């Protein structure tokens, strides 16, 4: 096989082509303003002509920067995580950064391994949606002076920047709205209690009940794992109670999906179907009339802010670590079909 194309041109060739030194070309490319307008133009023309683009390895070697950010998610096949990824990526792109997404398979070991890999690859910063509430292994980033920000959840044993939503108030307002509709018996299906987001949502629920003087009833509260099957399962358990709740809060969209599926499969004319409320859009559930109240998170915004936070750190801002809480919004649906 004959290669008709030459290897990528280097700085030297660009320099030779327009009779300046490599230093000058480098400066033009890096927008060093000391270079005269005129030479600048000549150099850029040569860059264009040769189709030059800087060798990322050589550049990285000198600058120790890769213009690359790592993003560790618990799981690839999760719409919520990937929408955050989209938010991050589109913001980073504006600044010429590339995002490297890794899958932690929802376990701490893989998370640690991915982080090490990313650090070894020379990323300039790391964004993590932690898979558990432990985060000591994340200090590896500090050791290399690579900034790290958490998204959606925080960890106990490691303090750093974090972008979260206001889970407590989000849940509070949803439950409050359900109470306002006259519901007295409100069930709660929680997520993996190892995760701060799950714990905060429970806190919002209990606080709302307290404030409205509704007794907290153990039998109305179940804990799943944020996956669809647990929503299905636990909805069944709630409906099997002597006095099933009139309304059930689902802590995330996957459990909501499971719950909705349970309701569909077990719909009986005589029995009253509980309303479903919970975090995130469940288009299916709402158009079926199950979902009446949802807590909407600004998902892409979370990603955007995470990206901006990490860029800020990379650019050397050394203010103390900060937790940013984004507001949620309550959306109500009519209960059609019922």
79 binds, among a copy of itself, DNA, none (CB under 5 to 8 A by kind): a copy of itself
Considering only residues 2 through 41, tell me which ones interact with DNA, judged by CB under 7 A.
7, 10-12, 19-24, 26-27, 29-30, 34-36, 38-40
**Partner that binds at residue 36, options DNA, a copy of itself, none, CB closer than 5 to 8 Å by kind:** DNA
CB closer to a copy of itself out of 204 and 278:
278
Helices (H) and strands (E) counted in the chain, each on its own, are: 13, 12
Looking at the Cβ atoms of 58 and 180, the one nearer to DNA is 58
Nearest approach in angstroms of CB 246 to a copy of itself is 22
> Cα–Cα distance between 281 and 283 in angstroms, integer?
6
Report the distance separating Cα 162 and Cα 197, nearest Å. 12
Give the nearest distance from C-beta 265 to a copy of itself in angstroms.
Answer: 6
The answer to whether 131 contacts DNA (rule: CB under 7 A) is: no
Q: For the chain, what is the largest distance between any 2 Cα atoms, rounded to a whole number of angstroms?
A: 88
Give which of a copy of itself, DNA, none residue 109 binds (C-beta under 5 to 8 Å, depending on kind).
none
CA pair distance 225, 190, nearest whole angstrom: 8
103's enclosing H/E stretch is strand 98-103
Asked whether position 328 contacts DNA by CB under 7 A, the answer is no
Complex with DNA: residue 145 or 272, whichever CB lies closer: 145
Q: Which of 172, 115, 193, 117 is nearest to 147 (CA)?
A: 115
Token couple for 180: 């306002």
Distance separating alpha carbons of residues 174 and 207, to the nearest angstrom: 12
What whole-number distance in Å separates Cα of residue 186 and Cα of residue 249?
Answer: 7
Which chain residues interact with a copy of itself by CB under 8 A? 1, 3, 5, 8, 53-61, 64, 66, 68, 76-77, 79, 82-83, 85-86, 89, 98-103, 117-118, 120-122, 142-145, 257, 261, 264-265, 283-284, 287-288, 318, 337
User: Taken in order 121, 126, 129, 135, is the CA torsion positive or negative?
Assistant: positive
For DNA, the binding residues (CB under 7 A) are 7, 10-12, 19-24, 26-27, 29-30, 34-36, 38-40, 52, 54-55, 58-59, 61-63
């Amino acid at each position: 096989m004959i290669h008709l194309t030459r290897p990528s041109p280097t700085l030297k060739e660009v320099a030779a082509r327009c009779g300046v030194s490599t230093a000058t070309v480098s400066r033009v490319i890096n927008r060093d303003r000391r270079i005269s307008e005129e030479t600048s133009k000549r150099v850029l023309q040569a860059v264009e002509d040769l189709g030059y683009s800087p060798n990322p390895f050589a550049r990285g070697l000198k600058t120790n920067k890769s213009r690359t950010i790592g993003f560790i998610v618990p799981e690839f096949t999760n719409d919520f995580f990937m929408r955050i990824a989209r938010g991050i990526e589109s913001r980073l792109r504006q600044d010429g950064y590339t995002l490297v997404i890794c899958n932690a398979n929802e376990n701490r070991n893989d998370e640690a391994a991915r982080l090490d890999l990313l650090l070894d690859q020379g990323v300039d910063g790391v964004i993590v949606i932690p898979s558990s509430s432990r985060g000591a292994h994340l200090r590896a980033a500090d050791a290399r002076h690579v900034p790290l920000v958490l998204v959606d959840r925080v960890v106990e044993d490691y303090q750093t920047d974090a972008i979260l939503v206001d889970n407590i108030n989000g849940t509070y307002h949803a439950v409050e709205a359900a109470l306002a509709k006259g519901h007295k018996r409100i069930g709660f299906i929680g997520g993996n209690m190892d995760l701060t987001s799950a714990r905060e949502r429970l806190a919002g629920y209990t606080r709302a009940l307290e404030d409205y003087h509704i007794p907290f009833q153990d039998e109305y509260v179940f804990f799943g794992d944020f996956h669809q099957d647990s929503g299905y399962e636990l909805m069944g358990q709630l409906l099997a109670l002597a006095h099933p709740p009139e309304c059930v809060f689902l802590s995330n969209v996957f459990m909501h999906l499971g719950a909705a599926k349970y309701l569909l499969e077990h719909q009986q004319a005589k029995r009253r179907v509980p309303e479903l409320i919970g975090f995130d859009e469940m288009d299916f559930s709402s158009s079926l009339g199950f979902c009446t109240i949802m807590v909407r998170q600004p998902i892409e915004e979370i990603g955007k802010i995470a990206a901006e936070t990490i860029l800020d750190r990379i650019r050397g801002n050394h203010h103390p670590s900060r937790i940013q809480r984004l507001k949620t919004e309550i959306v109500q649906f009519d209960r059609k079909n019922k």
